Structure 1
C-alpha cells in the first residue's frame, strides 16, 4: 500500500518536477495533477483563462507599478503568482523573464523588498544602462499589467538573522539595491546594529533611495551614511578607509558595485588578512580574453541551433532562439544553469578552461569552442 501511494505521488508530481518553487512540499503535487488532468492539452491553456498568474510549469508575476527613483532608475513592483515563496533573505536576487517584440529576455535583479506576512508583492530596483536592453525597458517601457516569468530567489549575498552588532556596507551606483533590502529588513525586525554605509554616486541626484537613506540616518541612531560624490570628490580611495571608518577591520563587510571597486576591496581585505570578513556581490562576470573560437551550438531536445561568435554565452544564445534556458545568477556561481554537454567542446569565459563531451557546464559563462551539442 505504501509503495502504491508513493508511486501515485511521484506520478502526480512528475509533470511539474522542474518548477523551482522553494515553497510548500505539496504545491508541485497540485501542479502535476493539473497537468495530468488536462493532457494532451497544456494545463496553462485552461489556467490562464482563470488567472494569468496561474501556471502548472513555471513561476509568473504581474507588474503592478513602476516608480521612478532617479532619472535612469526605477522600482518595479511585482505581484508573484502561484507557488512563489516569500521566504527569501535580504540581499538575494530574483530572475525575471520579459517578452519584448516576441522574444524572451532574462536577467537577475537584487530584491529591494523584504518579506511581509500581509504583503506578498516583491520589488526590484533597476538602473537603465546603454548596454542593458532589459534594464532600459523595465525603467522606461514596461507597463503595469505586464506578465513576467520569475525564478525563485537565490544568492549567498545575504544578511544573517540576527545581524552582527557592527556592520560596514560599501556600495556604488545600483550596487546599493541588495544593501537597501538589508537596511529595510533591519528596520522591520527592530534591530539597530552600528552600521556605517559608504555609497558612491556621481551626484546627489544620482543616489538611488537618497531621501530614504537620509531619513534612515535620522531615525536609526546606529546608522551613518557617507556619500562619496565622485563628480566633486572623486572615487573612494581605499587607502584612506581608516579616516572614514577607523574600525573597519572589526566590521563584517558587505560590498556591491562595479568590478574595479570590488577588485580593490578584495585586495585590501586580503592584504589585511580579513578576506573572510568581506562578502561581495558582482552584477557582471569578469570575462577573460580567452573566449572560444565560436561555432554552431545545437540544443538537442529543442532541435534548434544557433551560430555563436565565441564571445556570447550558450545561455544567451539559447534564449535568442526562444529556448527557455534555466538560469540564476548569470555569473557561474549558483549552478542553476548547469546542463550536460553531449558533444563538442566549450570554453569557460572566465578562465579559458575547455570542457568536452560528458561534462556538465555552466551555460551562463561558457561559449562554443567549435561545434557543440547541449542537452536541452
Structure 2
C-alpha cells in the first residue's frame, strides 16, 4: 500500500495539473475513481418510442436485484443530466434500462444513444424486489411500469420450475406493448408464466377497470391468494391500492407492493407560489404554488441537480437562502436559512432564494 501511494504521488507530479485518472480515461473510459461509469454495449428498439440500452458498468457497480432502479447520467449539450430508470435485465446479466421517449432526457436517451457511448451511474437502489420465499405472484403493470417487472420475470421464470406468475399488462396497442413477443415466447416455453395483455385502444377495447373486481377476477380469478406487484401511472396504482384495500380479504391488502415513478402529492397542496431567485445562476422566474422548484429552475435554464424526481434519493437538495417552501406531499410550509430543500417535491410559498 505504501509503494502504491508513493507511485501515485509521482504520477500526480508528472501529470499536474491533471490527475492520473484523466490520462487513464483516455485508455479506459470506465477507470474514473471519481464517478462510476458504464459503456453502452447494445441498443435495442423495443417500440416506436421505447429503447433498451444495455451497458457494461465499471468497477464499483453493485449487482442489481430484480426490480431495482438506478440513477443514470448523460451529457446533453455539455450538461450532465440525471434521471432514475428501472433496470430491466435479469439478475446476473449486465444491466439494461428501457427508456420511453417522454421528456427531455428520456427522449435523448431513447433516440440518440449509440453503442460505445458513456453513461454516468449511481448504484442500484429500491425495495421493489421479489419476495424472499417462493409463492404465487401477480404482476399488474401498465405502460412503462412493466420495466422493473420484466427484470423479475426474466430472473425468476427461467430459473425456477416451481414459478407461478400471472402478468396482467395494460398498453394502448399491441405495437406499443413493451416486450410483447418476448413475453409470449416465455409463456409458451415456461408453464409457470401466464401473460394477459389488455389493449386499451384497439377495436372494442376500453381501459382496464380496477374500480371493482370484475376485470381482475376475469384475468386472474385467484388474485387474492397471490403476492401482487403493481407498477404504472399514478391513477392506475391508486385504483389498485383501493381495490386491494376494500375488496380483498383481511390479509390481501398487505400482499400488494407498489412501485411509483412519480411522488404521491397531496391534493390541493399548492399555495400562492412566488418569485424564485437562483442566486448563483443569476436567474429569476415566477412559479405557481403547485410547480416543483426543480421544474421551475429547469424551465428557466438553471442546471438543477436531480435523481429520482419523486422525493426518495435526495439528489436534488439545494440550500435555501431565504423564503419559505411548501412540501407538495404533505402541504407543510417550512424553510430556515441554509436548510437543504428537496426541490423535486417542494414549491414556492412566497418569494424564495436558492443557492444555485
Q: Specify if TM > 0.5.
A: yes
In the TM superposition, residue 113 of structure 1 has moved relative to its aligned partner by 1.0
Measure the CA separation in 2 of the matches of 1:170 and 1:235: 14
Q: Which sections of structure 2, spanning at least 5 residues, go unmatched?
A: none
188, 194, 198: which one aligns with 1:224: 194
Query: In structure 1, what is the equivalent of residue 138 of structure 2?
Result: 168
93, 96, 107: which one aligns with 1:136: 107
Contact 2:82 2:306 survives alignment (8 Å):
no
Q: Which has the higher helix share?
A: 1
Superposition pairs for residues 226-305 of structure 1, below 5 Å? 226-231=196-201, 232-238=204-210, 239=212, 240=214, 241-271=216-246, 272=248, 273=250, 274-287=252-265, 288-289=267-268, 290=270, 293-298=273-278, 303-305=280-282
TM-score by length of structure 2 reads: 0.83
Measure the CA separation in 2 of the matches of 1:101 and 1:152: 25
- Residues 50, 370 of structure 1: alpha-carbon distance in 2 compared, 3 angstrom cutoff: farther
Aligned alpha-carbon RMSD (Å): 3.1
Q: Does 1:321 pair with 2:321?
A: no
In the TM superposition, residue 69 of structure 1 has moved relative to its aligned partner by 0.9
- Residues 352, 153 of structure 1: alpha-carbon distance in 2 compared, 3 angstrom cutoff: same
- Residues 152, 262 of structure 1: alpha-carbon distance in 2 compared, 3 angstrom cutoff: same
Q: Which sections of structure 1, spanning at least 5 residues, go unmatched?
A: 13-30
40, 62, 74: which one aligns with 1:98: 74
Measure the CA separation in 1 of the matches of 2:147 and 2:105: 17
TM-score by length of structure 1 reads: 0.79
Equivalent residue of 1:350, what SS? coil
In the TM superposition, residue 352 of structure 1 has moved relative to its aligned partner by 2.9
In the TM superposition, residue 257 of structure 1 has moved relative to its aligned partner by 0.9
- Residues 103, 195 of structure 1: alpha-carbon distance in 2 compared, 3 angstrom cutoff: same
Q: Does 1:352 pair with 2:323?
A: no
In the TM superposition, residue 187 of structure 1 has moved relative to its aligned partner by 3.1
Q: Does 1:115 pair with 2:91?
A: yes
Contact 1:199 1:226 survives alignment (8 Å):
yes
Q: Does 1:199 pair with 2:169?
A: yes
Deviations 1:37-78 (A, max 9, x none): 977644543332232222222111222222111111111111
Q: Does 1:74 pair with 2:45?
A: no
Q: Does 1:362 pair with 2:342?
A: yes
Deviations 1:258-317 (A, max 9, x none): 111111111111113533211111212344550561333446xxx445435245534456
Q: Does 1:56 pair with 2:28?
A: no
Q: Does 1:331 pair with 2:303?
A: no
98, 103, 106: which one aligns with 1:125: 98
Contact 2:273 2:351 survives alignment (8 Å):
no
- Residues 278, 338 of structure 1: alpha-carbon distance in 2 compared, 3 angstrom cutoff: farther
